[in-house]
Amino acid sequence: MPGPKILFIAHADAGFPGGNLGEFDFDVRGPHPAGAASALLDAEEPDAVLLDVDDDPAAYDVLLQLHETRRPCRAVVVGRELSADVVREAFFVGVYACLRKPVSAAAIRGALHRAAEGTTVMRRCLDAVGDAHPPRRAPGLDVSELTPRESEILRLLLDGRKTLGMAEALEVTPRTVKFHVANLLRKLGFSSRLALLAKLRRDGAFVPFEAR
């Protein structure tokens, strides 16, 4: 009986973390580049995603794509350097574990099986990066420069809507939603929607994975 289907997103030359792939009972598809992740998530419908963030600047964009998928993400992130901000945002979008390299075969096997089963990996997010200090709270959002439409987009983000849900609510195209999101992120001083949503969640203003 085949093991869980794992979509492996990594640099083309990346080896499977934890050792020889033959030692694992997984049906691994990849490595695939980060740019192919969005289409593969829908086409493959993997049981879990293994995201190696080393050597590919686009790898971090996959975290937002995981949030936008039809199903909750069920992912494990590995890397040599994982900042506290990256780990907090990863856990926010539903990543089950962040493991810093070098990582053992047992750790990879356990994390991927739990992710595939939908059970939680018992790993505090700050422990994963060795940061014992609580995150600093960002100052309140200054929404005074937002247009009425950008304010609507922000309200929908607060309501847990994803791109398609916002487009349907506003009767516009997803492309138009992305345009307005880019503008409000620039005005609010965030580099990505993921960073904004992570801040909103820390402030208790956002509940992820609403079925909308």
Domain shared by 179 and 119, yes or no:
no
Domain stops at, among 129, 159, 190: 129
Domain stops at, among 101, 129, 157: 129
Residue 122, pLDDT above cutoff 60: no
Within a domain: 138: no
Considering its fold, how many domains does the chain have in total?
Answer: 2
Domain shared by 38 and 86, yes or no:
yes
Residues 6+ apart with CB under 8 A from 7: 29, 30, 32, 37, 40, 41, 44, 46, 48, 49, 50
Within a domain: 140: no
Domain shared by 74 and 173, yes or no:
no
Q: Provide φ and ψ at 174, rounded to 5°.
A: -55, -35
> b vs e for 59-93, b when ≥16 Cβ sit within 10 Å of the residue's Cβ?
bbbbbbbbbebeeebbbbbbbeebebebbbbbbbb
* Residue 114 binned pLDDT confidence (cut-offs 50, 70, 90): confident
Residues 6+ apart with CB under 8 A from 77: 51, 53, 63, 86, 87, 90, 95, 97, 98, 99
Domain shared by 16 and 115, yes or no:
yes
What pLDDT is stored for residue 126 in this prediction?
34
Within a domain: 210: no
Domain shared by 185 and 83, yes or no:
no
Which DSSP symbol is given to 191?
A: S
Per-residue pLDDT of 43-86, as tens digits, reads 888 999 999 988 877 787 787 777 676 666 688 999 888 776 67
What residues make up the domain containing 170?
148-202
Average pLDDT over residues 167-185: 89
Q: Provide φ and ψ at 6, rounded to 5°.
A: -115, 125
Domain shared by 12 and 110, yes or no:
yes
Can you give the CATH number for the domain in which 36 is found? 3.40.50.2300
What pLDDT is stored for residue 136 in this prediction?
36
What pLDDT is stored for residue 10 in this prediction?
93
Domain shared by 30 and 110, yes or no:
yes
Average pLDDT over residues 8-35: 88
Nearest to 39 by CA among 84, 80, 9, 81: 9
Domain stops at, among 75, 94, 129: 129
What pLDDT is stored for residue 129 in this prediction?
40
pTM given for the model: 0.62
Of the chain, the percentage scoring pLDDT greater than 70 comes to 74
Within a domain: 207: no
Residue 165, pLDDT above cutoff 80: yes
More confident position, 90 or 62: 62
Within a domain: 142: no
What pLDDT is stored for residue 59 in this prediction?
80
Domain shared by 73 and 114, yes or no:
yes
Average pLDDT over residues 120-139: 39
What pLDDT is stored for residue 5 in this prediction?
93
Domain shared by 109 and 10, yes or no:
yes
Domain shared by 106 and 155, yes or no:
no
More confident position, 109 or 73: 109
What pLDDT is stored for residue 92 in this prediction?
67
